């Protein structure tokens, strides 16, 4: 017996922020340094999102997608979570635009036509909403 694919639960009126987990050890193929590209992306995104209660930026040590440039997971309870790759500090503002579109979406799906052009091929994986009950 197979189980049907899990769908995100219906949205509720309770507001919850979007959690962004940025790999701070990503080097994008560059030599090891004290300030890897992932750390730079995290810091740039945290600066851009500072004071915005709708976005919480977390750091994580390694998302195990080292061949895919800088990576991040965007998630919130009740919506699909997404593993995003081929990111870098120069894309922090576009990533925040994506996060805003994610927050506004009912299911967490941001169609390619709603993504910034620099992030068109960034999706590497999708996770069921049930994994993010505590984001």
Where exactly are the structural domains of the chain? 18-132
Alpha-carbon Rg for the chain in angstroms: 15
Q: What is the DSSP letter of 95?
A: H
* pLDDT digits 0-9 by tens, 80-103: 999 999 999 999 999 999 999 999
User: Under CATH, what is the fold of the domain 18-132?
Assistant: Glutaredoxin (3.40.30)
Structure pTM? 0.84
Q: What is the pLDDT of residue 30?
A: 72
Q: What is the rounded distance in angstroms from the CA atom of residue 50 to the CA atom of residue 45?
A: 8
pLDDT value for 13: 47
pLDDT by 10-residue block (mean), the chain, 135 residues? 52 74 86 85 98 96 89 95 96 98 95 94 92 66
């Amino acid at each position: 017996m197979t189980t049907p694919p899990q769908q995100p639960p219906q949205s509720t009126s309770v507001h919850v922020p979007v959690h962004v987990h940025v790999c701070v050890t990503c080097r994008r193929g560059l030599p090891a340094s004290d300030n890897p590209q992932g750390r730079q992306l995290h810091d740039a995104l945290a600066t851009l999102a500072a004071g915005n209660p709708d976005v919480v930026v977390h750091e994580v040590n390694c998302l195990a997608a080292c061949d895919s440039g800088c990576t991040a997971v965007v998630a919130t309870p009740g919506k699909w979570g997404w593993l995003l790759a081929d990111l870098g500090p120069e894309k922090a503002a576009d990533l925040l635009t994506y996060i805003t579109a994610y927050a506004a979406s009912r299911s967490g799906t941001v169609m390619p036509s709603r993504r910034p052009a620099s992030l068109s091929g960034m999706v590497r994986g999708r996770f069921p909403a049930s994994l993010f009950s505590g984001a």
